[in-house]
């Protein structure tokens, strides 16, 4: 019972556990894969703006899977991300359709403009 109450306030405890496990996996990667994965993870948190915990957890798990496989195979970092790391990261995040913070802001802007226009009687 207490766990359900806590989850209402903080979000899914299982998601938090899985997120921490994925971060630990990322920390265990050898360099340069660890450095690349951490840089992408940081970028995802700023650029991706994913608000859905399930989507964020899946995205991070897939990111770690990618770099673990690259490390295991000895694939060079540039062979994974190409010449444009930003484009690669943004394309990677587009594969995850969860709601993003900007979606909420877009809806808020559209409603504010609709309300403003409605006050003018148009």
Number of H helices and E strands in the chain, helices first, is: 7, 0
Contacts of 47 (CB under 8 A, 6+ apart): 89, 90, 93
pTM above 0.95? no
- Enumerate the domain spans of the chain: 2-119
pLDDT at 2 over 70: no
Shortest CA distance to 70 belongs to which of 57, 79, 61?
79
pLDDT digits (tens, 9 = 90+) for 21-71: 999 999 999 999 999 999 999 988 877 666 677 888 898 999 999 999 999
Residue 16's pLDDT band (cuts 50, 70, 90): confident
Class at the top of the CATH hierarchy for domain 2-119: mainly alpha
**Are the C-beta atoms of residues 32 and 85 closer than 8 Å to each other?**
no
Distances 48 to 16, 18, 22, 45 between C-alpha atoms, Å: 18, 19, 17, 6
């Amino acid at each position: 019972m207490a766990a359900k109450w806590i989850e209402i306030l903080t979000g899914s405890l299982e998601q938090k556990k899985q997120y921490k496990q994925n971060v630990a996996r990322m920390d265990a990667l050898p360099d340069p894969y660890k450095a690349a994965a951490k840089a992408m993870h940081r970028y995802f948190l700023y650029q991706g703006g994913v608000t859905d915990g399930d989507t964020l957890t899946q995205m991070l798990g897939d990111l770690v899977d990618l770099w673990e496989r690259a490390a295991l195979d000895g694939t060079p970092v540039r062979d994974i991300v190409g010449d444009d790391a930003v484009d690669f990261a943004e394309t990677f995040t587009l594969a995850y359709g969860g709601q993003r913070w900007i979606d909420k802001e877009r809806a808020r802007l559209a409603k504010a403009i609709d309300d403003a226009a409605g006050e003018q009687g148009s």
